[in-house]
Amino acid sequence: MGTKGVFRLSDVELDESIGRSTPDVEHERAVAIFDLVEENSFEPVGHSGGPYKLKLSLVDMRLVFAVTTESGDQVVTHILSLTPFRRIVKDYFMICESYYDAIRSSSPGQIEAIDMGRRGIHNDGSQTLMDRLEGKIKVDFPTARRLFTLICVLHWRG
């Protein structure tokens, strides 16, 4: 098995305390988890290889990354402050609301413009996540994008 198969997530779980949400949010969560498991690059620094399971949760306003091997052996737990994400997530929520409203009532040009802004904010959040994980867990940009979507879903729990 090459390194691509070894340094990857085979399973992603959101903490059981996260309740159900709107159909739009549930769809985003399901797509992000599916896409993340299908294709990702996930390498806990200093570990010999997985594949890995990731459980994401929120504890005292901190994001907890609990990483185990497929067989359940503890690899590492990283706890990240959510402070650097607050403004980005707030902006992302606002533009997503506009986007979902636009899908129902706006022209294709207006929807595309809002979607470009949404993607830009999402990219900012993804880069912030990569920066926060630096030296702890190495991820590529597409993996960071999918993880950022899940971080947003944790905030959307209501």
Rg of the chain on CA atoms, in Å = 16
Decide which of 47 and 15 is more confident. 47
pLDDT in tens, 9-18: 999 988 776 6
Residue 15: its pLDDT value, please? Answer: 79
User: What residues pair up with 9 in beta bridges, in sequence order?
Assistant: 52
What percent of the chain shows pLDDT beyond 70?
A: 92
Q: Specify whether the CB–CB gap between 67 and 137 falls below 8 A.
A: yes
pTM for the predicted model, two decimal places:
0.84
Domain ranges of the chain: 3-155
For residue 51, is the peptide bond before it cis, meaning its omega torsion is within 30 degrees of 0? yes
What is the DSSP secondary-structure string of 21-79?
Answer: --HHHHHHHHHHHHHHHHS--EEETT-----EEEEEEEETTEEEEEEEETT--EEEEEE
- Tell me the average pLDDT across 79-106: 90
pLDDT tens column, 102-143: 999 999 999 999 999 999 999 999 999 999 999 999 999 999
156 band by pLDDT with thresholds 50, 70 and 90 = low
Retrieve residue 81's tokens. 């402050």
Give the separation between CA 6 and CA 11, rounded to whole angstroms: 13
